[in-house]
Structure 1
Amino acid sequence: MSAARWLAALLLATVASASLADPHYEKAVMHSAALQRDMRLYVYLPPDYDPAKRYPVLYFLHGKGNNEYALMNHLALGDIADDLIAAGEIKPLIIVAPQLDNSFGLNLNDNDHAPLADGQGGGRYQDYLVQDVPAWVEQHWAARSDREGRMIGGISMGGYAALVAAFRYPERYARVGGHSAAVNPGYTGGWLYPLPTSRAERDPLLLAESPALGGLKIWLDCGRDDPLFATNQALAGILRKQKRDVQWSTGPGGHDSRYWTDARLIEYLKFYGR
């Protein structure tokens, strides 16, 4: 995307459902009851999108310090999805990238949060992510509302947020992916896990032992040079011990875009789009 197109996209940030030059993308602004403020969405629609049909939806979450627009544009997920759909390798699907700030997708109070984007403090980000966003999407696009038609995944912080949401609410999602997920017991004692009770509600390594995960399909991957490799590998081991449906993938690379190559994104979309 050229600099001029990128600037034009940014200037449309507050316009609800404003289409970009590529007709497969839409920008929207929704009001979150959980956060009591407006939040942005960036949405990919499959080729030949038909409002009379119902499509499975992937809620794909950005990393810390990133945003929903950069996630979709830099990774070109829509272009890759177009190619896979045209080749018959995945089913047509909707991809929704919601604004997550630096919240880790958690319900946070004013004394229990990371510094968020745009000067925001705490807030019920998990309620926004799990309840408000799907409800709004299902009202405004031809999105499936059943469990089998709803998936969630993300990169880094977004991968962590996706895993926590799906592990806590497995009845809402058929598939979840943690791609270089920010799974780190080192957060203990800090803002993320200030107390044992908060860690029990937020740590994927503990939530992975829930007996309710039986019907959930899980994808985990992390580069071998990523500082988060050991904890992601450990999470895969816990899930395997619990006999969960988990796929674990790794390869050369660290915690950067050189690891999240087109080849890996193709693998991700094939997992979600089956």
Structure 2
Amino acid sequence: WQVPVRMPSNGVVTEAAIPGNVSGFDARPATLYLPPAYLADPRAELPVLVLVAGEPGSPSDWLDSGRLATTVDAYASRHSGLAPVVVVPDALGDYDANPGCMDSALGNVATYLDQDVPNWIESNLQVNPDAAQWAIGGFSYGGTCAIEMAVNFPDRYPSFLDFSGQDEPSTGDHEDTVAAMFDGDESAFDAVNARDLMAQNQYPQLSGVFVAGEDDDIYRPQQEIMFEAARAADMNVDYYTLPGGHSGDVWGTALELEMDWLGRTLALTP
């Protein structure tokens, strides 16, 4: 791809409905960011970054507290308009819902993110279909979701960003979560829980980043647990803290800091 004579200086943000054709999950519209190189003629074949917001929340939270468009625009401006196509699907179903990022009695969120969302992207957007150039990320609930999806579907999402996520999906305490999601069946929960899977398997094909706020006394210790579990599972991972608590100041800054890593990992830059 060669930079055309005329190309927009900024990307565009839009919305799109991504139906749960396979999963049956009833999702709200997704938020999309299309970088300048996607809007050019000819269009560059770009990698994909799937981002998930926190709970309670909406996909648009990545635009507000996460500063998504500003951050990716800035990256694109340094790289001839090149940046990932970013899709922020709804992984909640409602503002204050909490289905966890699994297929369970609360909704088939895992299948939605593993099949419905990629199927829609490949059918409706001109992107690179090579899974090596796809990544998933998120903050809080979305961070938990990112590591869950990477571990359960490493061929779909071999790279991940986990910002201030939990050490397991939770609707409250562990017992209540397993009861709500799997009718109390611990083995069914363990079979898809990322922390349990990392204790049993090696994932050298996965790479990712864990970030937490220095003052986040609830989620920072859980991030440390997940980072150590990922290292023990032979993942290529990094972990660091940023000033702040459980807030967009941390997540927005973390995305800014990790754009260069994403660019290299997704083969946009050497």
- TM-score bucket of the superposed structures, by smaller chain: 0.7 to 0.9
**Is the CA contact (8 Å cut-off) linking 1:160 and 1:181 kept in structure 2?**
yes
Q: Which moved more, 1:251-260 or 1:183-192?
A: 183-192
Question: Please, which of 214, 220, 232 is the counterpart of residue 210 of structure 2?
Answer: 220
Query: What SS does the aligned partner of 1:198 have?
Result: helix
Equivalence for 2:5: none
The answer to whether the Cα contact below 8 Å between 1:221 and 1:232 also exists between their aligned partners in 2 is yes
- In structure 1, distance between residues paired with 2:80 and 2:157: 21
What CA RMSD, in Å, does the superposition of the two structures yield over aligned residues? 2.4
In the other structure, the counterpart of 1:18 is: none
2:63 paired residue number: 72
Q: Choose the corresponding residue for 1:189, options 153, 165, 175.
A: 175
The within-5 A match list for 1:169-208 is 169-184=153-168, 187-192=173-178, 194-208=184-198
Change (3 A) 1:37 1:196: closer
The corresponding residue for 1:126 is: 110
State the 1:142 CA deviation: 1.2
Q: Which runs of 5+ in 1 are unaligned?
A: 1-21, 110-121
TM-score by structure 1 length? 0.79
Which residue of structure 2 aligns with residue 112 of structure 1? none
Residues 123 and 209 (structure 1), Cα distance of their counterparts in 2 relative to 1, 3 Å cut: same
Task: Give the aligned residue type for 1:245.
Answer: N
Answer yes or no: is the 8 Å Cα contact 1:177–1:218 preserved in 2: yes
- What are the residue-to-residue correspondences of 1:1-274 with 2, within 5 Å? 24-33=12-21, 34-35=23-24, 37=26, 39-49=28-38, 50=40, 52-88=43-79, 91-101=82-92, 102-109=98-105, 122-184=106-168, 187-192=173-178, 194-226=184-216, 227-261=218-252, 263-274=253-264
Write the letter of the residue equivalent to 2:104.
Answer: L
Aligned 8 A contact 1:31 1:38 in 2: yes
Residues 1:266 and 1:90: Cα distance change in structure 2 (over 3 Å): farther
Separation in 2 of the partners of 1:136 and 1:31? 8
Aligned residues: 240
> Percent of counterpart pairs with the same letter?
23
1:208 touches 1:235 (CA, 8 Å); kept in 2? no
Q: Is the 8 A contact 1:155 1:178 kept in 2?
A: yes
Separation of aligned partners in 2, 1:36 and 1:162:
18
Deviation at 1:225, TM superposition (A): 2.2
Residue 35 to residue 243, structure 1, CA distance change in 2 (3 Å):
same
AA matched with 1:229: R
Partners in 1 of 2:206 and 2:191 — Cα distance? 18
Q: Residues 91, 248 of structure 1: CA spacing in aligned structure 2 closer, same or farther, 3 A cutoff? A: farther
Cα distance change on mapping 1:87 and 1:168 into 2, 3 Å: same
Q: Distance in 1 between matches of 2:25 and 2:215?
A: 40
TM-score (norm 2): 0.80
